[in-house]
Structure 1
């Protein structure tokens, strides 16, 4: 590419017509006002300096743009909310999941305790104790028609003075609505009491 040449008249006309600052800065460098006094090599060197200055000005413009974006505080709250929202949702879902899981386990434990007490005092036999444990479970555990196959309730009767046992086990997936966080495979509750009658 041949380096352009221009005289003082062209350079002044450029400034008068409101050309960009980039052209005004670069033109005095690569435009040779006296082409008859400079060699072709000197003109080429001046043109290359003009290209380098043009690249520097572009880099400065990009730096100014990045600095302006860094100082711009508009929509900062929306950006911060977008960063915090996923973590907040994970914490919220985890709290709900483990809360329902612990509540279900507590209800199952109370059912096993009632079944063991009834079996220990002779109010029911082993089959009756198993029915007490299953009936005590929350509705969301037994709502599925196939729940009976997943729920394992067992009771062991014994002689007076020995221990009776009531145990119930079911999948933890039935104990919560949002299975998003890691959970144990099964929920189990076991109660032992001394046989009294």
Structure 2
């Protein structure tokens, strides 16, 4: 069965089609949730909530992007919402003082594994971690990230650059060495 047919059947609340679509995407979306949450139980909970929301909002899927991309955005938003709710103290960032720096002034040594970088990303402040993860790991561009996080593209670029700077310092502290 073609994916678009499956999606159309899900729009009519066809439970068998929903199960097929769930099985098709659950493993990949679980990996996305784990990259954000780093806890299997939290990832499973958020994943279930994301699928429920996706099935409830299925009528809003217009096919402008792939179903997987549409679902991934729901999963990411649910992960961010979960992390925000879990956090006790919110720190506001006055973006009026931010400025954009040169994006070409940073690289990671080829000897550093992706696992080490991903682990270091989890230690960034939330403000920077979300942007860095969405950009470097999930592959979203500044426009998409600004839409997901409801920030300006300028703030997105600045947070990415500052997040990369923090990431660079974390990797230096771990003696993995980065160049500037």
Name the TM tier (shorter chain): under 0.3
TM-score under structure 2 length normalisation: 0.22
The structure richer in strand per residue is: 1
TM-score under structure 1 length normalisation: 0.21
Larger Rg: 1
The structure richer in helix per residue is: 2
